[in-house]
Amino acid sequence: MKKILIVYSDYYKDISKSILNGALKVLNKDNKKYKIFRVDGSFEIPQLINIKMKTKKYNSAIALGCVIKGQTPHFDFISSTITNALMDLSFKFNAPISNGVLTCLNQSQAKVRSSGKKNKGIEAANALLSILRSLK
């Protein structure tokens, strides 16, 4: 049985830990098998997903991370590149890839979106499971 690939960036450690825990809570509740890999920055998430999906050990993936806007246009380039790359990989591998990478204007937004009911990890895992269920 193939597993769900989870690639997360821990650049913002507390936020990443919270969204990862949210995703794992959903997957464990649904008894899904998964494998977790860590990268330093969110930009590297699609790169590792591409490499790992080529092994054919995974039927889907969840990308988790956080990008917070600074004073330069770097945020816009990184956020757009990650989003586009994840969609391209989904088509390339004909597999669902859920985008749980937060794109926030500040730390307080990131904290809200990584905790409680608005936890992006929970949302990303639920979105992935809904696609997987529809493929049965």
The 10s digit of each residue's pLDDT in 4-62 is: 999 999 999 999 999 999 999 999 999 999 999 999 999 999 999 999 999 999 999 99
The residue segments making up the domain with residue 105 are 3-128
pTM for the model stands at: 0.96
Residue 133 lies in a domain: no
Q: Give the three-class secondary structure for 104.
A: strand
Tokens, residue 37: 């890999």
Helices (H), the chain: 13-29, 45-53, 74-93, 107-112, 120-134
Instruction: Respond yes or no: is residue 74 known to be catalytic.
Output: yes
Report pLDDT digits (tens) over 110-128.
999 999 889 999 999 999 9
Q: Which residue has the tokens 């994840």?
A: 86
Instruction: Give the list of residues 6+ apart from residue 6 with CB closer than 8 angstroms, or none.
Output: 20, 23, 24, 34, 35, 36, 37, 61, 62, 64
Answer whether residue 135 is part of any domain.
no
- Catalytic one of 74, 76, 92, 106: 74
The CATH number of the domain holding residue 16 is 3.40.50.960
Q: Would you say residue 22 lies in a domain? A: yes
